Chain A
Amino acid sequence: MTKQVQQLDRVIIRFAGDSGDGMQLTGDRFTAETAEFGNDISTLPNFPAEIRAPAGTLPGVSSFQLHFADHDILTPGDAPNVLVAMNPAALKANLGDLPRGADIIANTDEFTKRNLTKVGYSANPLEDDSLAAWRVHAVPLTSLTVKALEGFDISKKDAERAKNMFALGLLSWLYHRPTEATVKFLETKFAKKPDIAKANVAAFQAGWNYGETTESFSVSYEIKPAKLKPGVYRNISGNQALAYGLIAASVQAKLPLFLGSYPITPASDILHELSKHKKFGVRTFQAEDEIAGVGAALGASFGGALGVTTTSGPGVALKAETIGLAVTTELPLIVVDVQRAGPSTGMPTKTEQTDLLMAMFGRNGESPVPIVAPSSPSDCFDAAIEAARIAVKYRTPVMLLSDGYLANGSEPWQVPDVSELPDISVEFASAPNGDDGTTFHPFKRDPATLARPWAIPGTAGLEHRIGGIEKADVTGNISYDPDNHDRMVRLRQAKIDGIDVPDLEVEDPDGDARVLVLGWGSTYGPIAAAARRVRKGGGKVAQAHLRHLNPLPANTGEVLRSYDKVLLPEINLGQLALLLRARFLIDIISYNRVRGLPFKAEELAGVIQDVIDSE
């Protein structure tokens, strides 16, 4: 049977199943195949906070969305074209996101009366006409897998568990994905259990063959490779890119990396990743709590390491006092906040941009801290190096504001040439700096950067004491002098205000837009995709994205003032808008949603168009 092959420019697939069904792994493998094929990709995993919620229930649904295309794309996509639903819960939980006409591949074996009842279906939706608006492919994935694995020396349970590989095989056929890497991956992953490895490979191949022979799928699809910049690429998630960026920063700063951290969702993967790279001299310290994590990092910085702590919002709250200590002792420190939905415990696996004001102001006293926010998963690499550059050059704690969306999302990354990474090394103080040639003044500043000398223990002649009590300008001795305190508060502020950050760039292909859409952090993808849509429809919009939130680029006010209207979408209730209004007296138009999810491009395109139309 010859099947029809249809060309598409882009596809969005969502794999959904029980959290034990291996959907994240399935998504990862499909992503790897797609990357190898050469499409541009953006992914969004979405999983429950519960490790194993009761099987078959709505809270237990885990999903992985993947957007791939023959052109460069910016987001994991708004609405799936294809939903793979491994059980009724996965169908029910995701149906609302599915546009009419989309494909549903449902595992009929799991649509039992019991499972249907668990999620409130009184009748089987695959058998009545309730899904008439979609193209339903009812496939008994489990029993087909078990049948394909007859004769393998594995238990029935292990055979059933391979159903995700059957589904992956089917999807790989449907979209003409290369399969060799997945076979190799399975052989490596189950190297210690060769029977399981063989069974998974067989299930994967059976899924492919099923696609080729079944009448349930009459069409398969081709999506040509994207034209990306020449170079070597790999797929990378935000947390992995951030960890690599920290290692690169350590190499480029010529300082040993010390991570003090306490496990917290969604930041823990950075700790896991860094703990693997001991051959780079990376020390990872899993502390007794968040406070000890940052304390140890600061202690290591005092000793001449690149001290880093990684956490999420609740952890930043606990670390605030130590960050203040780093501000006043003027020691380098990187604080990575992978933001999640708050307040309090909030929704740990869901994303948000709600820690900006905490990063800015969440400490006692006047304690300015530079803030850098990456704009995409792969940008986490460069943002980490930039945070380290500022920390060591200006001897200051730096906040790196990632979020759950960046942390777990992934995209192809053009691997940089190491020789082109910036040299961010600095020199430790090695000699007395007093006028008498013998005294050391730990708070005598570099006139250009206002940074104080970084004199590490073990350096003879520079013995000195620092601490949280106010210090006299220059000498660093304890001081309660009113004028000295006023001077030191202003000096610390001036140092941060004077950090060299690049100008804010504006993208306006037409050059005559009157509306600027501004963003920061992880909203870059959806905002840029929305701006493209608006322009495609004839609308004129300029786009700018802030990576440095403190200090702001010097031209920020000028850029904002040069447009009639400035629209600022944020996944908070207007935190950056508050800062910009206060600073520049410009009435920013805020667009805010705090649903724990990234913006959708279509949604933002509508918002931008409305602002243009109201001109």
Chain B
Amino acid sequence: MSDIVNGLNGRGLSLVPKSDAKQSMKDYKSDQEVRWCPGCGDYAILAAVQSFVPELGLKRENMVFVSGIGCSSRFPYYMNTYGFHSIHGRAPAIATGLAASRPDLSVWVITGDGDSLSIGGNHLIHALRRNVNLNILLFNNRIYGLTKGQYSPTSEIGKITKSTPMGSLDKPFNPISLAIGAEASFVARTIDSDRKHLQSVLREAAEHRGTSLVEIYQNCNIFNDNAFEPLKDPATRDDITLRLEHGQPVVSATKAVRRGPRGLEVVERSSVAEDEILVHDAHDPDPSTAFALSRLDDPAFEHVPIGVFRNVDRPTYDEMMREQLETAVAAQGAGDLSDLLLSGDTWRIN
């Protein structure tokens, strides 16, 4: 079992000033009227975030929510913090500039499956590989909501939508596999309806220093209702949810994961001995097993891993950038403009 080596993790917020006053959920509610469709999963996520952030105890003015375009991207308007509702797909880039230049901020990116995996796919993977201190919350409803119901890059093949009357042709992205493929240092999945789990994942993401990607299965009750119903239905959810907890065996109520001859396999729990079951190691520096776990997610919802796939320690871009500036000043002294302008070959004319 891997341990956190140099203690970087847990200090995701160490440079963000703490609030003296005790905070509550209402401190984080802005005065704006929330305008999602009634019944939208976004409400649950908003409430979960608003009720969770006070426990971080940060100065509210040092939190920033940056979003792109889409239903979920309206999120910043409802948080009584600083917020930037930007343009389609570009939130990770904008947040990168902000977080790289302001270590005293807790920066959150709110995005959707279209925003982050289609138009903004490039920015997402590069943010993940760079490991800037950001928390990216990816609301995945597997559909385009704001443009009224086209298939998205996470929609299942054959999806009948307004733009695909005979079914969609493209294979969906698995956001977790994509993020682990980009060697993200923190990758997790949770569900809008499970507030307790959602908040526990958010807590871990916030404390992680580096880019954390949290995929949140979110229901769009207008264009893709019940997309995640098997994970929510009390009759099925405990069987299909493979809980990922560091140091714990990967199991659902009835199923278990073990290493087979050709990689990980899901088997009936009763058919394996306890010591054959894979014990989850979220801190393993090698992403292979985390990636293999992400492949257990099947479109038919027979079994879906939920939880923190990967939480590893690696240097963050913003910290290293700051260190380079500090090293330059330590070695050469602070910059002097006059010296700069007079550097190189000069001559005087009298």
Residues of A participating in the B interface, judged by any CB pair closer than 8 Å: 32, 35-36, 38, 181, 225, 228-235, 244, 247-248, 251, 256, 258, 260, 277-283, 285, 287-289, 291-292, 295-305, 307, 321-322, 324-325, 329, 415-416, 418, 421, 457-469, 477-478
Contact = CB atoms under 8 A, between A and B. Distances in A.
Contacts of A297: 97
Contact of B77 (A248, A260, A465): A465
Given A292-B96, A461-B61, 15 more contacts: A278-B325, A281-B325, A283-B100, A289-B122, A295-B94, A296-B96, A298-B94, A303-B97, A325-B86, A457-B64, A458-B59, A463-B81, A465-B77, A467-B86, A478-B77
A102 B210 CA distance: 64
Given A279-B332, A281-B335, A230 B84 contact: no
Contacts of A467: 76-77, 83-86
B90 A291 contact: yes
9 contacts: A234-B345, A247-B337, A251-B335, A289-B122, A296-B96, A457-B61, A465-B30, A465-B84, A466-B83
Contact of B337 (A32, A248, A307): A248
B23 interface: no
Interface in B73-94: 76-77, 79-87, 90, 93-94
- For B97, B126, B321, the residue with the greatest tally of chain A CB atoms inside 10 Å of its CB is B97
Contacts of A301: 97
Given A295-B94, A465-B30, A251 B337 contact: yes
A234 B347 CA distance: 6
Given A234-B345, A457-B61, A457-B62, A466 B84 contact: yes
B342 A292 contact: no
Contact of A228 (B79, B333, B349): B349
B97 A458 contact: no
B271 interface: no
Nearest to A418: B338
Nearest to A229: B349
A292 B91 CA distance: 9
Contact of A38 (B59, B328, B345, B349): B349
B30 A296 contact: no
B261 interface: no
B19 to A, nearest CB: 10
A270 B95 CA distance: 23
Interface of B: 30, 32, 59-64, 66, 69, 76-77, 79-87, 90, 93-102, 104-105, 122-123, 126, 321, 324-325, 327-329, 331-335, 337-338, 340-342, 344-350
A298 B97 contact: yes
B332 to A, nearest CB: 5
A35 B346 CA distance: 8
A244 B325 contact: no
B101 A283 contact: yes
A244 B340 contact: yes
A301 B101 CA distance: 9
Contacts of B64: 457
A449 B149 CA distance: 44
Contacts of B348: 230-233
Nearest to A36: B347
Contacts of B100: 258, 283, 285, 296, 300
A284 to B, nearest CB: 9
A575 B328 CA distance: 44
Contact of B97 (A229, A258, A418, A462): A258
B80 A463 contact: yes
B335 A280 contact: yes
Contacts of A303: 97-98, 101-102, 105
A285 B97 contact: yes
Contact of B342 (A225, A232, A322, A478): A232
A296 B80 CA distance: 23
Given A231-B348, A299-B93, A463-B60, A288 B126 contact: yes
Nearest to A415: B341
A304 B66 CA distance: 16
A416 B104 CA distance: 36
A232 B346 contact: yes
Nearest to A460: B61
Contacts of B101: 256, 258, 283, 299-300, 303, 305
Contacts of A457: 61-64, 82, 98, 102, 105
Nearest to B78: A465
Contacts of A38: 347, 349
B126 A464 contact: no
Contacts of B81: 463
Q: Report the 10 A-B pairs with minimum CB-CB distance, sorted nearest first.
A: A467-B85, A296-B97, A299-B97, A295-B93, A280-B335, A465-B83, A278-B328, A299-B94, A292-B93, A288-B126
Given A232-B346, A232-B348, A247 B340 contact: yes
Contacts of B347: 35-36, 38, 232-234
Contact of A283 (B76, B321, B344): B321
Contacts of A477: 32
A613 B30 CA distance: 71
Given A285-B96, A287-B93, A457-B64, A321 B87 contact: yes
B52 to A, nearest CB: 18
A244 B62 contact: no
A322 B87 contact: yes
Contacts of B86: 295, 325, 467-468
Contacts of B63: 457
B337 A296 contact: no
B319 to A, nearest CB: 13
Contacts of B341: 234, 244, 248, 415-416, 418
Nearest to B91: A295
Nearest to B89: A291
Given A292-B126, A457-B62, A260 B97 contact: yes
B66 A299 contact: yes
Given A457-B102, A463-B80, A299 B61 contact: no
B325 A458 contact: no
Given A35-B347, A279-B328, A296-B100, A291 B337 contact: no
Contacts of B123: 288, 291-292, 295
B221 to A, nearest CB: 23
Q: Select the residue from A228, A230, A300 with max chain B CB neighbours within 10 A.
A: A300
Nearest to B330: A279
B334 to A, nearest CB: 6
Nearest to B326: A278
A307 B325 contact: no
B13 to A, nearest CB: 14
Contacts of A465: 30, 32, 76-77, 79, 82-85
Contacts of B76: 465, 467
A413 B77 CA distance: 50
Nearest to B63: A457
Contacts of B69: 468
A279 B126 contact: no
Given A247-B340, A256-B101, A302 B94 contact: yes
A363 to B, nearest CB: 12
A228 to B, nearest CB: 5
A333 to B, nearest CB: 11
A225 B348 CA distance: 12
Contacts of A225: 349
Contacts of A256: 101
B98 A299 contact: yes
Contact of B93 (A181, A296, A302): A296
Contacts of A229: 349
B87 to A, nearest CB: 5
B70 to A, nearest CB: 12
A280 B93 CA distance: 24
Most B CB within 10 A of own CB, among A225, A282, A288, A421: A288
A591 to B, nearest CB: 35
Nearest to B343: A234
Nearest to B322: A283
Contacts of A248: 337, 341
